[in-house]
Amino acid sequence: MARQVMNAEEIRRALTRISHEIVEKEGTADLIVVGIQRRGVPLARVVADAIKEHEGVDVPFGTLDISFYRDDLTTISVAPVHKGTSIPGDVTGKTVILVDDVLYTGRTIRAALDALIDYGRPKAIRLVALIDRGHRELPIRADHVGKNIPTTSEEVVRVCVKEIDSEDLVKVELLAEHLAANEAAEKKAKG
């Protein structure tokens, strides 16, 4: 049975708070906000928009696809779907705010760091995670976290965003239920 841990308003407030923290620590000069495909992208857009709203600065915004940088590429798909990278200019000397939905083992972020370095040498990279669920396998931590949610290895944290899932919410579900729901959705999609 899934349990909701954040609703749309709580997500918005967390990302707005994070945008204030970023400006307080980094300022807005030479700042770039980059969302990790897929659900990190709309979350990063909220952060960039919040900075524009309270600082009056239009921060460059980009997207990062890490599909070909993953260390588990051969185990997740025979043919990974590339969702596209769009980095606004050279990142050299800039502070890149890297945004993802859930921080878990750290492997996604390791792949994102490898991908980002292909676009230059940033002055700094700061990590934003809407959810930190623990269970790190690599020495990676977020600089800004929306919410810490302790989980077990039998649970999955699912972040839903309106742009992809038609609603904004965060829920925790049992892994078995999550896999069954994904399988049913795939069968439905195949017709």
pLDDT tens column, 142-168 = 999 999 999 999 999 999 999 999 999
Q: In the structure, what pLDDT confidence band is assigned to residue 80 with cuts at 50, 70 and 90?
A: low
Residue 10 has pLDDT above 90, yes or no: yes
Q: In the structure, what pLDDT confidence band is assigned to residue 1 with cuts at 50, 70 and 90?
A: confident
pLDDT of the residue at 180: 84
The pTM of the full predicted model, rounded to 2 decimals, is 0.91
Q: How far is CA 159 from CA 44, 114, 156, in A?
A: 14, 24, 10
Q: What residue type is 170 in one-letter code?
A: V
Extents of the domains making up the chain: 3-190
Instruction: Compute how many other C-beta atoms are within 10 angstroms of the C-beta atom of residue 162.
Output: 12
What's the rounded Cα separation, in Å, for the pair 191 and 153? 32
Instruction: Give the tens place of pLDDT for each residue, 110-140.
Output: 999 999 999 999 999 999 999 999 999 999 9
Q: Contact 47/18 with Cβ under 8 angstroms? A: yes
Q: Number of helices (H) and strands (E) in the chain: give both, helices first.
A: 6, 8
pLDDT of the residue at 11: 98
Measure CA of the first residue to CA of the last residue in the chain; give whole Å: 27
- CATH classification of 3-190 is 3.40.50.2020, yes or no? yes
Mean pLDDT of 12-20: 98
Q: What DSSP state is assigned to residue 137?
A: S
Q: Contact 140/106 with Cβ under 8 angstroms? A: yes
pLDDT of the residue at 73: 53
The rounded Cα 52 to chain-centroid distance in angstroms is 20
Alpha helices in the chain (DSSP H): 8-26, 40-55, 73-76, 107-117, 162-165, 175-190
pLDDT of the residue at 82: 62
What's the rounded Cα separation, in Å, for the pair 75 and 71? 9
CA angle 186–157–151, rounded 5-degree value? 135
Which contiguous run of DSSP H or E holds residue 191? none
Instruction: Give the tens place of pLDDT for each residue, 22-78.
Output: 999 999 999 999 999 999 999 999 999 999 999 999 999 999 999 888 776 555 455
